[in-house]
Amino acid sequence: MRNQPDVNPWQAGARILIVEDEPAIADTLSYTLKTEGFVTECCTLGRDALVAIGKGGHALVILDVGLPDISGFDVCREIRRTSDIPVIFLTARSDEVDRIVGLELGADDYVAKPFSPREVASRARAILRRTRPTAPPSAIPKFVVDAECARIAYCGVRVSLTRYEYGLLSALLERPGRILSRAQLMERVWCDAEESFERTVDAHVKTLRAKLRAICDEDPIETHRGLGYSIRQHAA
Ligand code: CA
């Protein structure tokens, strides 16, 4: 029997940022996480990590405390100003563990060095299992949905949306990766659906794309020929 890792569909392909200045540790960790179906990205400096997280698209951060430029504690504090992305600390000393626990930095877990990469992968899975399925759209890094005020921010910028554009985008954001057909979108967004045509959806998606592209030069909406539209899982 093959020893298949326990990866749920929503975890497969989740992007994990590894912030670790020791190449041997980063490489081993990255290798193990990849074999378990995650996508990894590595950086060695705290400042680079903050830039990467600012761009969004990560499901979790594995953060070494002892970094060459700024400490992992300060990186975590900075992350928490704008994001609730899960953070697992890697610590080299026991007094660091005390500080992680004592400083209430908002870390989700920590692992003391030397550690088994499989142990870190299992902690990562546990955290993602805990946080991802129940996460509201507002937890998605690039998009913040304010349903009460029918507003959506993208990459920190409020998008000026018509009623229909808001309806389309919020429907797609409910579950990134899920494909909604034009008919489903019509039904969800247009109350007078029988008087509209499916090409109306295409026209509104086109203007929506232009507005999003004006904010961030990538297209988070994926067209599935003959099927419909979805929000790209990692673009969200
Ligand atoms: Ca280090």
Question: What is the Å distance from ligand 1's center to 19 Cα?
Answer: 9
Mean pLDDT of the chain: 84
Which of the pair, 131 or 73, is modelled with greater confidence?
A: 73
Question: What is the Å distance from ligand 1's center to 48 Cα?
Answer: 15
pLDDT of residue 11: 56
Span of 53-57, 60-64, 197-201 with lowest mean pLDDT:
197-201
Q: Name residue, tokens 């430029």.
A: 69
Q: Give the strand order in the sheet containing 87-91.
A: 39-43, 15-19, 60-64, 87-91, 109-112
- The predicted-structure confidence for 14-23, as pLDDT tens digits, reads as follows 899 999 999 9
Question: What is the Å distance from ligand 1's center to 31 Cα?
Answer: 18
Question: What is the Å distance from ligand 1's center to 65 Cα?
Answer: 7
Residue 14 to residue 229: CA distance in whole angstroms = 20
pLDDT of residue 133: 47
Question: What is the Å distance from ligand 1's center to 121 Cα?
Answer: 19
pLDDT of residue 236: 62
Name which of 53, 60, 79, 73 is nearest 131 in CA terms: 60
Residue 38 to residue 121: CA distance in whole angstroms = 9
Give me the domains of the chain, ranges plus CATH numbers: 15-131 (3.40.50.2300), 143-235 (1.10.10.10)
SS (H, E, C) the chain: CCCCCCCCCCCCCCEEEEECCCHHHHHHHHHHHHHCCCEEEEECCHHHHHHHHHHCCCCEEEEECCCCCCCHHHHHHHHHHHCCCCEEEEECCHHHHHHHHHHCCCCCEEEECCCCHHHHHHHHHHHHHHHCCCCCHHHCCCEEEECCCCEEEECCEECCCCHHHHHHHHHHHCCCCCCECHHHHHHHHCCCHHHCCHHHHHHHHHHHHHHHHHHCCCCCEEEECCCEEEECCCCC
Question: What is the Å distance from ligand 1's center to 30 Cα?
Answer: 16
Question: What is the Å distance from ligand 1's center to 72 Cα?
Answer: 9
Question: What is the Å distance from ligand 1's center to 59 Cα?
Answer: 22
Question: What is the Å distance from ligand 1's center to 22 Cα?
Answer: 6
Question: What is the Å distance from ligand 1's center to 67 Cα?
Answer: 5
pLDDT of residue 52: 93
pLDDT of residue 134: 43
- The predicted-structure confidence for 148-198, as pLDDT tens digits, reads as follows 888 888 887 788 899 999 999 999 998 888 899 998 898 888 876 566 677
Question: What is the Å distance from ligand 1's center to 224 Cα?
Answer: 44
Question: What is the Å distance from ligand 1's center to 36 Cα?
Answer: 24
- The predicted-structure confidence for 81-113, as pLDDT tens digits, reads as follows 888 899 999 998 877 877 776 667 788 888 999
pTM, rounded to two decimals: 0.54
- The predicted-structure confidence for 184-233, as pLDDT tens digits, reads as follows 898 888 876 566 677 889 999 999 999 998 887 788 999 998 889 999 87
